[in-house]
Amino acid sequence: MTEQKLPEKAFPVSWDQFHRDCRALAWRLNGFGPFESIVCITRGGLVPAAIVARELGVRVIDTISIVSYGDFKQLETLDVVKDVAPNLVEADRSKLLIVDDLVDTGKTAKLVRDKLPGAHFATVYAKPKGRPLVDTFVTEVSQDTWIYFPWDLGYSFQPPIRGGRG
């Protein structure tokens, strides 16, 4: 079994912080609507889409499922395993909101933008390469940072940044 090399810069996000950041995203989006429906990019976009939908009163939520990561790295090719419902593709795009947890290199964002031009694209976090592809985001992190989302984490000892045991 080979050992995985983890990124040097880590940005762990707790459930509390993620919830606050998603509500901050909804606050920013409130001025752009009203939105009638949300398309979330799964899996990462599921939780922020639920929070944003609650805050903005949106009841129609669909998904597009794109596999883009494996073993802590972005894959070369994207695999659309579930597409957007045809009625949303045909809908008024000015009332359609796309939600994801993160825009990284922008490959996934570009694919979804091409499918749904004119929709408002929002992410909780953005990295510099992908940032130009989203309309609204909350926090920018460096390109070489790996975000550990709450669903990736468990409660355990975290060593200090400079090493040692505390």
**Per-residue pLDDT tens over the stretch 86-104:** 988 888 899 999 999 999 9
Confidence of residue 160 (pLDDT cuts 50, 70, 90): confident
Instruction: Give a yes or no: residue 158 inside a domain.
Output: no
Instruction: Give a yes or no: residue 20 inside a domain.
Output: yes
Instruction: Give a yes or no: residue 98 inside a domain.
Output: yes
Task: Say if residues 60 and 35 touch (Cβ distance below 8 Å).
Answer: no
Is 100 catalytic? The answer is yes
Instruction: Give a yes or no: residue 51 inside a domain.
Output: yes
Instruction: Give a yes or no: residue 165 inside a domain.
Output: no
Count of beta carbons in the 10 Å neighbourhood of residue 84 = 21
- pLDDT recorded at residue 58: 97
Q: If you average pLDDT over residues 23-39, what whole number do you get?
A: 96
- pLDDT recorded at residue 7: 55
Q: If you average pLDDT over residues 39-63, what whole number do you get?
A: 96
- pLDDT recorded at residue 159: 73
| Catalytic one of 21, 71, 79, 100 | 100
Whether 5 shows a pLDDT value over 70: the answer reads no
Render pLDDT for 53-91 as a digit per residue (tens, 0 to 9): 999 999 999 999 998 766 655 667 888 899 999 988 888
| Catalytic one of 101, 114, 135, 144 | 101
Please state the domain count of the chain. 1
Task: Say if residues 121 and 98 touch (Cβ distance below 8 Å).
Answer: yes
- pLDDT recorded at residue 161: 73
> Where residue 70 sits, what CATH number does that domain have?
3.40.50.2020
| Catalytic one of 104, 114, 135, 152 | 104
Whole-prediction pTM: 0.85
135: left (phi over 0), alpha (psi -120 to 50) or beta: alpha
Instruction: Give a yes or no: residue 1 inside a domain.
Output: no
Is 16 catalytic? The answer is no
Q: If you average pLDDT over residues 14-22, what whole number do you get?
A: 97
Instruction: Give a yes or no: residue 3 inside a domain.
Output: no
Render pLDDT for 116-152 as a digit per residue (tens, 0 to 9): 999 999 999 999 999 999 999 999 999 999 999 998 8
Instruction: Give a yes or no: residue 88 inside a domain.
Output: yes
Is 104 catalytic? The answer is yes
Q: If you average pLDDT over residues 8-25, what whole number do you get?
A: 94
Distances (CA, A) of 98 to 136, 144, 156: 10, 25, 34
| Domain range for 94 | 9-152
- pLDDT recorded at residue 1: 46
